[in-house]
């Protein structure tokens, strides 16, 4: 089980990303627009830099829904490899059977 503080930090980051997504997208559109004057694009760059770091989607990290484990994460199932194997062994994932030969 991951530390509660780390899981809570990820939740907080996700909220910040969602809250600032529109403003970040607008500023990035201004920055990438070559028809705008250089001064306006530079001001948009400075405003983007002033925004909270955790409002960037790049800082989000996928975690297991059950344990909060950050590594060995299966995106499709939103589970870590450990929980995937455990749930499959108990027959709680439809169609998945632990292999043996």
Say how far apart CA 40 and CA 31 lie, in whole Å: 8
- Domain range 1-61, CATH class: mainly alpha
Of 101 and 58, which is predicted with more confidence? 58
Sequence-distant (6+) residues with CB within 8 A of 21 are 57
4-32 helix and 38-50 helix, angle to the nearest 10 degrees: 170
Look up the pTM and report it. Answer: 0.75
Q: What is the pLDDT of residues 12-23, one digit of tens each?
A: 999 999 999 999
Given a cut of 90, whether residue 2 has pLDDT beyond it is no
**pLDDT attached to residue 97:** 79
Task: Spell out the domain ranges in the chain.
Answer: 1-61, 62-94
What are the two backbone dihedrals, phi and then psi, of residue 91, each rounded to the nearest 5 degrees?
A: 75, 25
Supply the pLDDT for residue 96: 85
Given a cut of 80, is residue 99 above it in pLDDT?
A: no
- Assess whether pLDDT exceeds 90 at residue 100: no
Class of residue 64 by CB neighbours under 10 A (exposed 0-12, middle 13-18, buried 19+): buried
The reported pLDDT for the residue numbered 101 is 78
Instruction: Read off the pLDDT of residues 23-79 as tens digits, 9 standing for 90 and up.
Output: 999 999 999 999 999 999 999 999 999 999 999 999 999 999 999 899 999 999 999
């Amino acid at each position: 089980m991951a530390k509660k503080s780390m899981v809570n930090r990820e939740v907080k980051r996700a909220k910040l990303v969602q809250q600032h997504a529109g403003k970040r997208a607008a500023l990035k559109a201004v920055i990438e627009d070559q028809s705008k004057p250089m001064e306006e694009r530079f001001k948009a760059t400075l405003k983007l830099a002033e925004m909270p770091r955790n409002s960037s989607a790049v800082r989000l990290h996928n975690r297991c829904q059950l344990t909060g484990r950050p590594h060995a994460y299966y995106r499709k199932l939103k589970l870590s490899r450990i929980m995937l194997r455990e749930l499959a062994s108990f027959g709680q994932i439809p169609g998945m059977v632990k292999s043996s030969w």
